[in-house]
Amino acid sequence: ISRTQSLSPLPNTTTEPANIYVDTSERNTERSQLHPTNGGFTAWLYVVGGFFVFANTWGLTTSFGAFQSYYTTELLSGKSSTKISWLGSIQSFLVGSVGPISGSLFDMGYIRSTISIGCFLVVFDMIMVSICQTYLELLLAQGICTGLGAGLVYTPAIAIISTQFTTKRPFAIGCASSGSSIGGIIFPIMFRKLQPSIGFGWTVRSIAFVNLGNLLLAVLLLCRYQHSHSKTTRTIINSRAFLEVPYTTFTISLILIFLAFYIPSFFIPTYAIYSLHCDHDFASYLLSILNASSFFGQIVPLLIANHSGGSRCHVFLARGWKCCWFHCFLCFVGFYIRGVSDSTSTGYCSSYAFALDVGDRYKNGHGMAGYFD
């Protein structure tokens, strides 16, 4: 059987002459899939690329509270807070629920095009947000299009990192996902400091320029990945995965968590202004404090998950979340809320990262939960 180059004939053991060739490159690929690396320089470059992806996807989503406060008091003052929150809700919904599409594209080998298109949409749509004046325009640009772009690039980044590590996988995913905390710290402060002096339009464009620089680096780093994709036709939803009781139970728990996941990130500044009568500067910093505390919630719990497992860590953090009262709300809920989110990623990836359909496994569960965001 002759398929690839670098083929060597085996000795003939029959009476008739015959040349039998072994596909060594295919065998090496299968061996590398069964025994993936556990780090290395290239693997950590993927983590850096994932860090930039998280900072400019989930970092933007968790910064929506700054936009919510401005829209409520200035740009869309005639709209209710509930109606304005639909902008961020649709964005976060699409980041998670586009996972079934981007995960399938990852498994089929369309990595470069998926990541590149997703990064382009995030930057382009943030520039469009800067010129929006009405609620409908913001709904299309910030709600729908930005969410689509972030969803296209988010799931492939997680899948790439999960294939590069074994015992260090939870810590690697935690390092990458800590980018969402950094983005959630920087973007609200940028918005509050720049908006009074240069206006809403150029403030959002400045954020878009930061997104552009970061996501260019993410594209250069993540598109180096070579994925031995499956040649079989895949469906968007892999229904067979939901026949497994542990997988289905874990997905249901993630759905219940996500039902209340973004309420603090969206409404902390508005609540501080209208209910606690705080000034606008202090209220804007509350969101950055929340995201700063979530940085430790992304690293510390996943270090624990290396020893106890991602699912057990997820259960512990979910129980601790409900014990946070408002007096220590900002610090502790930021720690727990991000730890809960990232432990779900390690829960899926730790169980199925060696499978060829790791993209299917992760995008099915996380995408299903994204519908309930």
User: Is there a single domain that holds both residue 165 and residue 80?
Assistant: yes
- State how many domains the chain has: 2
Whole-prediction pTM: 0.70
* Domain interval for residue 100: 36-228+240-256+268-370
The pLDDT tens digits along the chain (373 residues) read 344 444 445 455 444 444 444 444 444 444 444 445 677 888 899 999 999 999 999 889 888 888 988 998 888 888 888 899 899 889 988 887 887 788 788 878 888 899 999 999 999 999 999 999 999 999 999 999 999 999 899 888 988 988 888 777 878 888 888 888 899 889 999 998 999 999 999 999 999 999 999 999 999 999 888 766 555 555 656 667 677 787 778 778 777 777 777 777 777 788 888 887 777 777 778 888 877 877 776 666 666 655 555 555 555 555 554 455 444 555 555 555 555 555 555 555 555 544 445 555 555 555 555 555 5
Which two structure tokens, joined as six digits, stand for 235? 């469906």
H or E segment and range at residue 134: none
Q: Phi and psi (nearest 5°) for 4?
A: -125, 175
Sign of torsion over alpha carbons 63, 68, 71, 72: negative
Q: Looking at the structure, do residues 6 and 47 belong to the same domain, yes or no? A: no
In a domain? residue 235 = no
The alpha carbon of residue 103 and the mean position of all alpha carbons in its chain are separated, in whole angstroms, by 12
187 plus 215 within the same structural domain: yes
- Please give the structure tokens belonging to residue 264: 């603090």
Instruction: Please tell me whether residues 9 and 60 are part of one structural domain.
Output: no
Rounded to whole angstroms, what are the CA distances from 294 to 159, 250, 286, 347?
22, 22, 13, 19
| CATH code (residue 55) | 1.20.1250.20
Indicate if 317 and 364 belong to the same structural domain.
yes
